[in-house]
Amino acid sequence: MRMAFVVLMLTLTTVGCAVDTASPARAAERFHAALAAHQEEAACAMLARKTADKLPDPGQSCADALRELRFGPGGQVTSVAVWGEDAQVRLAGDTLFLHRFTDGWRIRAAGCEPMGDLPYDCEVDD
Amino acid sequence: MRWLKENSLSLAFLIMFLLAVGGQAVAGMMQFNDQQAAEGSEPVSLLQYVTSSSFAVDVAENWQSEYLQFFLFIVLTVWLVQKGSPESKELDKAGAESDEDQQIGPYADEDSPAWAKVKGIRLWLFSNSLGLVMGAIFLLSWLAQSVAGQAAYNAERLGDLRDPVSWGAYVTSPEFWNRSLQNWQSELLAVLSMVVLAIYLRQRGSPESKPVGAAHSSTGVEG
């Protein structure tokens, strides 16, 4: 019975942990708010390091690269999925993928379009 | 000392289990962190790893298959026999056997467990308690595997910029069945090997083997 208890606890801890969906949602909204306010440098500071490194062309800054991409408005949050350290936030006008680092949620990919069951096609990714 | 000797089999397996699961946790964390580094993510601590869905699914998928193996072995050997195998009972004893053989009801001894002396649901429950508990642990472990597996699978899918899947979609996915069946096949082969090899091979002194000098054809004899 002890084993059954351990397995049950394993299930409950996996299922029962309260998932914080508000933090990644806020991070996604702040990213789009910065873009809407033409604060591309602030938006760049919210990107995951690999994403920020990959984004600019040679000789270009991250902010310039974001400016060129001309993101549309993000809009309201419509759904949030959090699994482990990764999250997907759907806004009315965009889908973003985020990762939780020690300093909080950062944007891994944005401007993403669904491609069926294949990976999303994103304007910005890592 | 006497207590240690009388419980040495359980204690040895408990210690080996703890060492193995501890080793799995450390090795699993190192492998996980190696992958994290390759993806540009931060490493996790041992505590974070052992409470992760990745560790939980690896543990649960092995547990469920082990308990399924024992459940099937316990229940099927009530009715199915194997000539010459010490894992089988004698060929003419297939089935639930008589109350007298099973020492229940009026045939119970003075020191028989209390529920072996009564009738009704309590006797039925106690008569099947080993199979029921093994079967229940199997189902709970398999459920835990499905829940933790969905979490680990979805974290991986989000990492690949793909949509997460529902529990229903996960338990019908190739990922879930590949994890389950690759464990089941090895457990079933191990039982088959034990049942058949023990007909012809011996391990002197082991109750899992026939006595060294027992005939290959003698069934239900343990040394």
**DSSP 8-state code for residue B213:** T
pTM of the model: 0.87
Length of chain B: 223
Q: CB of A44 within 8 A of CB of A58?
A: no
**What gap in Å lies between CA A21 and CA A87, rounded to an integer?**
8
Cβ atoms within 10 Å, residue B102? 15
Q: Tokens for B93?
A: 């004893």
Q: Is the pLDDT of residue B217 over 90?
A: yes
Cβ contact, residue pair A88, B164, below 8 Å:
yes
pLDDT > 70 in chain A, percent = 87
Residues of B in contact with A94 (CB under 8 A): none
Q: State residue A72's pLDDT score.
A: 87
SS3 percent helix, strand, coil of chain B, rounded to 5, is: 70, 0, 30
Chain A residue nearest residue B148, CA to CA:
A14
**What gap in Å lies between CA B178 and CA B171, rounded to an integer?**
11
pLDDT > 70 in chain B, percent = 100
Q: Tokens for B211?
A: 């006595």
**Cβ contacts of residue A83 below 8 Å, gap of 6+?**
B53, B151, B154, B155, B157, B158, B164
Q: What angle do CA B175, A10, B166 make, to 5 degrees?
A: 40
How confident is the model over B60-81, as a mean pLDDT?
97
How confident is the model over A77-90, as a mean pLDDT?
96
Q: State residue B158's pLDDT score.
A: 96
Q: State residue B173's pLDDT score.
A: 97
Beta bridge partners of A100: A105
Cβ contact, residue pair A4, B164, below 8 Å:
no
Q: Is the pLDDT of residue A10 over 80?
A: no
Q: Is the pLDDT of residue B9 over 90?
A: yes
How confident is the model over A55-74, as a mean pLDDT?
90
Q: Which residues 151-170 on chain B approach chain A with CB closer than 8 angstroms? A: 151-152, 154-155, 157-164
pLDDT > 90 in chain B, percent = 94
Q: State residue A18's pLDDT score.
A: 72
Q: State residue B116's pLDDT score.
A: 96
DSSP code per residue over B19-47: HHHHHHHHHHHHHHHHHHHHTTPPP--HH
**What gap in Å lies between CA B56 and CA B62, rounded to an integer?**
10
**Cβ contacts of residue B23 below 8 Å, gap of 6+?**
none
Q: Which residues 55-74 on chain B approach chain A with CB closer than 8 angstroms? A: 56, 59-60, 63, 67
Chain A residue nearest residue B130, CA to CA:
A1
CATH for A20-124 is: 3.10.450.50
Q: State residue B222's pLDDT score.
A: 73
How confident is the model over A71-88, as a mean pLDDT?
94
Q: State residue B149's pLDDT score.
A: 97
Domain spans, chain A: 20-124
Cβ contact, residue pair A4, B158, below 8 Å:
no
- Which residue has tokens 């040394």? B223
Q: State residue B36's pLDDT score.
A: 86
What Å distances lie between residue A51 and A66, A108, A116, A123, B103, CA to CA? 11, 6, 23, 11, 71
Q: CB of A71 within 8 A of CB of A63?
A: no
Residue whose C-alpha is closest to residue A82's, from A13, A30, A26, A25: A25
Domain spans, chain B: 1-51
